[in-house]
Amino acid sequence: MSLIDKIENLQKKPEHIKRRVLFASLFVIMFLVVTVWVSTLKISLGSSEEESQVASPISTFFGIVTGSVDVAVSGIKDSFGKIKEIGEIKEGSINQETGQQNVVEYNDTGE
């Protein structure tokens, strides 16, 4: 009998039987969760406080966010610098004496 067959069989049962099965399975699952939690709690309480110097999740989150913002700001500044540099090249490409446009090529390498 597969799991799907057992579920279909349970659906045919009266409401009070369904509730018994619900509470029994809830009890078993919660017992397992609490058992795992208590066992990991004993392990973490058994270690010394010097070894378990872990940063709080909030400080870790803010560290990641500030690092990301710093990287984004520096990327935007670099982009604006390149745009400004390209604009200066195009503005300086007109010969002031003749009024003709000089041909200036711009490489991505900055050369």
Q: What is the pLDDT of residues 36-62, one digit of tens each?
A: 888 888 777 765 555 556 677 777 777
pTM: 0.37
Residue 107 confidence (pLDDT) = 58
The mean pLDDT of the chain is 77
Phi, psi of 53 (to 5 degrees): -80, 85
| Residue whose token pair is 């349970």 | 10
> In Å, how far from its chain's centre is CA 41?
27
Averaged pLDDT for residues 5-29: 93
Distance in angstroms (rounded) separating the CA atoms of residues 91 and 73: 27
Tokens encoding 41: 């709690």
Residue 33 confidence (pLDDT) = 93
Q: How many CA atoms lie within 13 A of 106 on its CB side?
A: 12
Averaged pLDDT for residues 88-104: 57
